[in-house]
Amino acid sequence: MSINGVGAAGCQAAGYGVRRTQQNAAGKSFAEQVNNVAAKKSHIVYMKTDDMLYSGGNGTGLSFYIKYAEGSTQDDPTVIAKGVDENGDEFEQTIHINKINPKFATIVEMRALEAYTGVEKKNGFSSLPMETGSMGLNDRRDFMDMFRDVISDMKLLSQKKTAAYYQYSMQVYWDFMNKK
């Protein structure tokens, strides 16, 4: 075969050539391996309904929704979070909003607090720092430190509006903690 007068032999001499898909030790091509992994891993996505405070997840496969619990009161706002964790296992949690500590919280607790406080989400941004995308169901973090870090990063990058937005979001959570 030749392309514009250059034969395959000429391509070989220049270090180019056509290679077959390499096989691994088990005899499967890369495409077969990818398809096999994709077939084993599935993700559940919960579509938000009118009675949900939150519906979503993150890049780990964690996916959940949050609704007010039946016994929720103004003095003890309580929510139920249901979903699947990063391993695909179903979970259900009862969360008492007033017991959430943003200095030592899970992503599910912070999403519940985000919904409860009504913190404004601008331009599709989450009110939470970007690092939450790698958190699993039971991972706990100091969200206030995460806010300080992302605000510092945005200022360093001259992203003043984004820094101001995260400053506003952080202040909502500080105000919540100071009311308790």
pLDDT of residue 43: 66
Q: Are 66 and 52 in contact (CB under 8 A)?
A: yes
- Mean pLDDT over 125-137 rounds to 87
The mean pLDDT value for 173-180 works out to 92
C-alpha–C-alpha distance, residues 8 and 18, integer Å: 9
Q: What is the 3-state secondary structure (H, E, C) of the chain?
A: CEECCEEHHHHHHCCCCCCCCCECCCCCEHHHHHHHHHHHCCCCCCCCCCCEEEEEECCCCCEEEEEECCCCCCCCCEEEEEEECCCCCEEEEEEEHHHCCCCCECHHHHHHHHHHHCCCCCCCCCCCCHHHHHCCCCCCECHHHHHHHHHHHHHHCCCHHHHHHHHHHHHHHHHHHHHC
Q: 117 pLDDT exceeds 90?
A: yes
pLDDT at 108: 97
Least confident of 14-28, 74-88, 142-156: 14-28
User: Comparing 154 with 29, which gets the higher pLDDT?
Assistant: 154
The answer to whether the pTM exceeds 0.85 is: no
Sequence letter at residue 56:
G
Per-residue model confidence (pLDDT) at position 111: 95
What percentage of the chain has pLDDT greater than the value 90?
59
Maximum Cα interatomic distance, the chain, rounded to a whole number of Å: 82
Q: What pLDDT sits at residue 121? A: 81
- In the chain, what percentage of residues exceed pLDDT 70? 75
What value does the mean pLDDT take over residues 144-155?
A: 96
End-to-end Cα distance, the chain: 77
pLDDT at 26: 54
